[in-house]
Amino acid sequence: MLRFLGGFDYLVIDESHYYNPKQLANFLFFLSAWKHFGILDSLAKVCLLSATPNSHVSHYLHSLNLRIEKVSPDNEPADAEALSIPSLAPVELDMFSLDEIREPGLVTLVSDHMQELHQWLGTDQQGAIISSALWRINLLYNELRRSGIPQSRFARLTGVETRQARSAATRYDLILATPTVDLGYNFERTEKNRQSIDFLFFDATFTDEFGRRGYFPLYAQCRTYDALVNGGADIVVNTYATGSGKTKAALLYLHDLRLRSLDKANCLFIAPTNELLEQHARDIEKFCETNALDYQVLRLTRDYMDVCSSRHRSDTASKGCRQLPSGLGTSVRCSGTLRLANKS
């Protein structure tokens, strides 16, 4: 276990508010072990990313008596506005209580605005409908079919769809989705010269994420980078809103990780779902290529780790798997993980 725990100099935990109790216990134990074995005393750093941090997790982290620095819109310097440039499109937000729109909630809201939805799609706009309940997404899917909107214009993006179907759904003008897309999902439409999403319907569950004003990504990233490089904290907690570039803010530290000439210069990046894990893997590979960082990105999914663990026990592992201890599959299989290994 100590061999694995000591194999990294940098730990990034994405969407730290999303994990279930078992997953939380795993990475909180990881942090406790890092402190106990003195790994944090060797310049190792931790970066937690969450737009809606869990108060219980924050309380536990402070109970470890670690040095923690929070990077948040709530503690920006007084002159931050003068240094910042807005980079998100203006948002017009209409909020409705359940009493106003009646059950089944979001389904009723979309039905009441079906004429506007036809108009938006008719003027080549793209959007999304996001619900925390899969059954609402299915009801909405049938409602849209009955409304006369061509089925070639909309698709579902949910956890129960196949990987191929989820990938194909991103090409449609209207996406119906579950929280799969709440976790940092990128609505990538490279052919557009404006924001990728023009309109959005969502459950009140998402108010905290989507209802916050657009902060300033570049400034938020600079604050995170500065806290990791120049600050004295063991843990940096970034709580800027979704869309503010928290992931890239954490990745900027990879430059200094290599320059510090540490023995390993390895990073462990933890994401709560396989879908988000794969997205981060592609983004990190692109980031490393763009910035000429010689990192190898390994996708430590449960299947991959089970195979490596089996090969290790039989002493027939490949070079890439031989670095993993035999108990690794069990110790972190509860969540998707990326390992950024120093190629040299």
Domain ranges of the chain: 2-81+215-342, 98-210
Rounded Cα–Cα distance for residues 196 and 187 (Å): 6
Our measurement of the distance from residue 310's CA atom to the centroid of its chain's CA atoms, rounded to an integer in Å, reads 30
DSSP state, residue 3 = H
259 and 1 Cβ atoms separated by less than 8 Å = no
What's the confidence (pLDDT) of residue 185? 54
Q: Can you give the pLDDT of all 344 residues of the chain as single tens digits?
A: 667 767 788 889 888 777 777 877 887 888 888 888 888 877 789 999 988 887 877 888 888 888 899 998 888 876 655 555 555 667 788 888 777 777 788 899 999 999 999 999 999 898 989 887 888 889 999 999 999 999 899 988 776 666 677 667 778 899 888 765 544 455 666 677 777 788 989 875 433 333 333 333 467 788 888 888 887 888 999 988 877 788 888 988 887 776 665 556 788 888 877 778 888 888 888 888 887 777 888 888 777 777 777 776 665 444 433 333 322 222 222 233 455 544 44
Sign, CA torsion 282/284/287/288: negative
333 and 17 Cβ atoms separated by less than 8 Å = no
What's the confidence (pLDDT) of residue 314? 62
85 and 216 Cβ atoms separated by less than 8 Å = yes
What's the confidence (pLDDT) of residue 344? 41
Closest CA to 268 of 284, 282, 289: 284
Residue 339 has a CB neighbour count (10 Å cut-off) of 23
DSSP 283-334: HHHHHHHHTT--EEEEEE-HHHHHHHHHHHHTT---HHHHTS-TTHHHHHTT
- What fold is seen in the domain 98-210? Rossmann fold (3.40.50)
Rounded Cα–Cα distance for residues 341 and 264 (Å): 8
What's the confidence (pLDDT) of residue 297? 86
In the block, which residue shows the tokens 């061999």?
Answer: 3
Residue 333 burial (10 A CB sphere; 0-12, 13-18, 19+): middle
| Rounded (10°) angle between helices 55-63 and 21-36 | 20
Rounded Cα–Cα distance for residues 180 and 169 (Å): 12
What's the confidence (pLDDT) of residue 312? 61
